[in-house]
């Protein structure tokens, strides 16, 4: 789809004519009364200016670089005195740290980003460092804890800070040397008890958490620890990428206009990000930026990433509601095969080319400006997050209940061994009635169960797998189901994550061809919860919570908080009529892995038997009519040239009898040019042309491969070029 279509150009012209860039930058540091009315409506949280992150701020920092030099000195102190740094922060205050760590490395100090209230996450950090140092006391002596919270009241960060204060006290180590806080001046964390750094280098408090990169301490301090010599490069590159002066040439405003057009005009509001490994954390960070900023009043754009995607998992273009976005780095194209398919078949696509990882700050600032442009065009206040506050309120109410936090007794459930499926939140939210659900279960168990392999149906009306499958069928038939959320409250082990990832793929990505998220709470409460609760009503959420939570051996962390956050989130979604179920386990998440896999296998079998979805094997089958569309002919290779941009590819000139063509083939490691010239080969000739590493290919050579390499397919005897393979 053309990113320069007339309507996108019209939106860009609107931004230019209404001086959007100038309005955004001129709002830096002013009061609401002094701002343009529209900017005041979309860029202020109540009376508070939240536009301190703009290009104007970056220009101020580069013009007053002494503030960065002070930050570099702080980073040097950390490198000189500590071996480990544990950043405790939620939302942008934690996601940014993780992104910096994974993008730039750790610069001699091992960095951790603690973004959960799961005690096991703390246990894993302490156990990992203790295995290196030999004792927890040595670990604490070499560790700096950095609590990060704009408000100073973030419940997760406050609980982390309290935990480490108690832990250091237990070992009689002076905590004041080992704890820093990054917060706004005057917040409850600004007590003077610890070394405190303000979030903003200019000392103001007008930047929200998801806008703190790349020009605040939250981004720059971990960057200075990891790669101090690249701080100026990152900042200057960010300015160069965003200070274009011409809206028409502004890549990120064009992206904003394009995404708005696709979401508002075309109803394609599911942004699918494809990233190179070097920038693998950009989608995780951008998820909060986009969804928490725009998911309001039934509007918004949802972001998906890390899905197993190929052409088979995509809906045909007329039914497709995704927009595909990729970043290419250093001249190397990301996901080239999938992208070529998307482009040739005219799916909506947008791509950005960057030089290297030092462009990451420019990407982050640019995506913030794109979101601001969408908010401006769509009239969305993009700097508040009312639904997040609603979840926090519900969590506090749960925490006020005396004793151990438990799932409300009135919630209905179905049990299988130690697994319980709480489905009454769907009934309370009004998705459908209990009688409708029961009738659906009765209908579905009439289907003969599949017996092949692991897909044995259960045919028990009270089994949670039968009920979950019936829920899926009801949601497909009776609601506008467009997207799926799986969120585990608690840190997922690799094995546990694989089970959920497989279920996500089999049931939704491949089965129903629906975009699906997989994340951890409460981290994701500060990321996409706002959108799920207050954006477009299209989601079905499934949450997971273990009754038993693993604890650090040295000092326990309150397990009630994690449970209260899971239950509070469900309650908040119920209050807003959103579709959600909760699955709990009687032991730990690790103990429940076998039961959970059995559960998903049963759900899959039931849905296949009911013909709601196809089996993974069936989805791989090609119909005879589909095969007949392929036109395969014999061609003779006339000329062989090395591909100019790829070591494994040849560019082949071929003769088809009535025409000559050029194809690109990945056989360079198996054949010398002289072995190919004059040879007859089989070629698919009715594929749409594809550009492969800068060279157009007008067909596809057929070959086989095994452990000994590639063998091209040739006829047993000479035939006329152009002969049809039947």
Residues 250, 332 within the same domain:
yes
Q: Which of 193, 211, 236 is the last residue of a domain?
A: 236
Q: Name beta bridge partners: 682.
A: 634
Residues 453, 589 within the same domain:
yes
Predicted local confidence at residue 455, as pLDDT: 44
Query: For residue 172, is it within any domain?
Result: yes
Query: For residue 527, is it within any domain?
Result: yes
CB-based contact 160:195 (threshold 8 Å): no
DSSP state, residue 358: G
Tell me the two tokens of residue 46. Answer: 């109540």
Residues 507, 558 within the same domain:
yes
Give this prediction's pTM: 0.86
Residues 257, 347 within the same domain:
yes
Q: Which of 187, 208, 236 is the last residue of a domain?
A: 236
DSSP state, residue 657: S
Q: Which of 236, 265, 300 is the last residue of a domain?
A: 236
Determine the 3-state secondary structure of 453 from DSSP: coil
What residue numbers bound the domain in which 321 lies? 6-31+244-378
* Residue-level length of the chain: 726
Query: For residue 77, is it within any domain?
Result: yes
Residues 429, 536 within the same domain:
yes
CB-based contact 709:718 (threshold 8 Å): no
pLDDT in tens, 328-354: 999 999 999 999 999 999 999 999 999
Query: For residue 481, is it within any domain?
Result: yes
Q: Which among 367, 386, 387, 379 is positioned nearest to 290, based on CA atoms?
A: 367
Query: For residue 127, is it within any domain?
Result: yes
Tell me the two tokens of residue 186. Answer: 């005057």
Query: For residue 162, is it within any domain?
Result: yes
pLDDT in tens, 580-608: 999 999 999 999 999 999 999 999 999 99
d(CA 267, CA 589) in angstroms, rounded, equals 38
Query: Which helix (DSSP H) or strand (DSSP E) does residue 519 occupy?
Result: strand 516-521
Helices (H) and strands (E) counted in the chain, each on its own, are: 26, 26
- Using 70 as the pLDDT threshold, list the residues of the chain that sit under it: 1-4, 448-459, 616-626
Residues 291, 183 within the same domain:
no
CATH of the domain at 273: 3.40.50.10490
Tell me the two tokens of residue 390. Answer: 């609603």
Query: Structural domain tally of the chain?
Result: 4
d(CA 323, CA 609) in angstroms, rounded, equals 32
Query: For residue 185, is it within any domain?
Result: yes
Residues 628, 615 within the same domain:
no
Exposure string for 572-592, b = 16+ CB within 10 A, e = fewer: bbbeeebbbbbbbbeebbeeb
Q: Name beta bridge partners: 350.
A: 325
d(CA 146, CA 132) in angstroms, rounded, equals 21
DSSP state, residue 505: I
Predicted local confidence at residue 541, as pLDDT: 98
d(CA 615, CA 510) in angstroms, rounded, equals 9
Residues 644, 553 within the same domain:
no
Q: Which among 334, 373, 364 is positioned nearest to 350, based on CA atoms?
A: 334
Q: Which among 673, 683, 693, 691 is positioned nearest to 715, based on CA atoms?
A: 683
Terminus-to-terminus CA distance in the chain, angstroms? 35
Query: For residue 718, is it within any domain?
Result: no
d(CA 552, CA 120) in angstroms, rounded, equals 7
Residues 373, 471 within the same domain:
no
Residues 541, 502 within the same domain:
yes
d(CA 596, CA 419) in angstroms, rounded, equals 7
Residues 449, 576 within the same domain:
yes
CATH of the domain at 669: 2.40.50.140
Q: What is the DSSP string of 161-230?
A: HHHHHHHHHHTT--GGGTEEEE--TTSTT--SSSEEE-SBTTS-----GGG-TTTBHHHHHHHHHHHGGG
Residues 404, 301 within the same domain:
no
């Amino acid at each position: 789809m053309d990113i320069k279509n007339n309507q996108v150009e019209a939106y860009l012209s609107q931004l230019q004519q209404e001086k959007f860039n100038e309005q955004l930058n001129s709002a830096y540091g002013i009061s609401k009364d002094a701002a343009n009315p529209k900017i005041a409506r979309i860029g202020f949280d109540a009376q508070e200016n939240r536009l301190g992150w703009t290009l104007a701020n970056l220009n101020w920092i580069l013009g007053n670089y002494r503030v960065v030099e002070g930050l570099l000195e702080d980073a040097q102190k950390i490198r000189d005195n500590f071996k480990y740094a544990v950043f405790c922060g939620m939302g942008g205050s934690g996601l940014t740290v993780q992104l910096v760590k994974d993008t730039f490395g750790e610069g001699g100090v091992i960095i951790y980003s603690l973004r959960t209230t799961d005690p096991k996450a703390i246990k894993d950090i302490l156990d990992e460092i203790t295995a290196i140092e030999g004792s927890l006391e040595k670990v604490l002596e070499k560790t700096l804890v950095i609590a990060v919270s704009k408000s100073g009241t973030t419940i997760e960060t406050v609980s982390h800070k309290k935990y480490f204060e108690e832990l250091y006290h237990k070992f009689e180590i002076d905590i004041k040397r080992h704890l820093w806080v990054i917060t706004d001046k005057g917040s409850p964390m600004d007590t003077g008890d610890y070394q405190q750094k303000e979030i903003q280098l200019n000392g103001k408090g007008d930047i929200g958490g998801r806008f703190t990169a790349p020009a605040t301490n939250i981004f720059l301090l971990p960057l200075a620890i990891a790669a101090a010599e690249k701080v100026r490069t990152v900042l200057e590159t960010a300015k160069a990428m965003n200070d274009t002066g011409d809206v028409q040439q502004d890549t990120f405003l064009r992206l904003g206009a394009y995404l708005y057009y696709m979401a508002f005009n075309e109803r394609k509001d599911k942004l699918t990000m494809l990233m190179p490994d070097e920038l693998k954390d950009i989608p995780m960070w951008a998820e909060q930026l986009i969804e928490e900023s725009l998911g309001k009043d039934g509007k918004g754009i949802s972001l998906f990433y890390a899905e197993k995607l190929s052409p088979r998992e995509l809906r045909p273009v007329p039914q497709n509601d995704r927009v595909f976005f990729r970043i290419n780095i250093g001249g190397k194209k990301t996901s080239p095969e999938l992208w070529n398919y998307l482009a040739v078949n005219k799916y909506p696509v947008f791509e950005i080319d960057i030089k290297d990882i030092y462009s990451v700050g420019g990407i982050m600032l640019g995506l913030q400006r794109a979101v601001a442009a969408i908010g401006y065009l769509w009239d969305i206040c993009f700097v508040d997050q009312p639904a997040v506050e609603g979840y926090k309120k519900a969590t506090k109410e749960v925490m006020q209940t005396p004793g151990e936090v438990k799932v409300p007794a009135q919630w209905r459930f179905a049990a299988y061994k130690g697994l319980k499926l709480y489905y009454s939140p769907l009934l309370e939210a009004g998705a459908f009635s209990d009688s409708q659900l029961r009738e659906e279960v009765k209908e579905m168990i009439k289907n003969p169960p599949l017996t092949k392999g692991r897909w044995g149906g259960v045919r028990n009306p009270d089994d949670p797998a039968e009920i979950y499958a019936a829920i899926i069928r009801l949601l497909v038939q009776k609601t506008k189901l467009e997207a799926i959320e799986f969120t585990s409250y608690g840190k997922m082990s690799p094995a546990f994550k694989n089970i959920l990832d497989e279920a996500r793929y089999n049931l939704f990505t491949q089965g129903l061809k629906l975009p699906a998220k997989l994340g951890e709470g409460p981290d994701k409460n500060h990321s996409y919860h706002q959108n799920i609760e207050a954006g477009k009503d299209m989601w079905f959420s499934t949450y997971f919570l273990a009754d038993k939570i693993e604890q650090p051996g040295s000092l326990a962390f309150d397990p009630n908080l994690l449970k209260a956050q899971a239950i509070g989130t469900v309650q908040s979604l119920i209050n807003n009529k959103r579709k959600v179920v909760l699955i709990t386990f009687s032991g730990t998440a690790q103990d429940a892995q076998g039961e959970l896999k059995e559960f998903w296998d049963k759900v899959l079998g039931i849905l296949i038997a009911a013909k709601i979805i196809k089996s993974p094997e069936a989805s791989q089958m090609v119909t005879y009519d589909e095969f007949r569309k392929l036109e395969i002919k014999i061609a003779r290779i006339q000329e062989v040239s090395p591909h100019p941009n790829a070591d494994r590819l040849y560019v082949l000139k071929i003769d088809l009898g009535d025409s000559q063509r050029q194809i690109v083939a990945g056989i360079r490691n198996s054949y010398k040019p002289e072995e190919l010239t004059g040879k007859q080969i089989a070629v698919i000739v009715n594929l749409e042309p594809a550009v492969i590493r800068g060279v157009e290919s007008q067909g596809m050579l057929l070959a086989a491969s095994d452990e000994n390499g590639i063998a091209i397919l040739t006829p047993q005897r000479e035939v006329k070029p152009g002969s049809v393979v039947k």
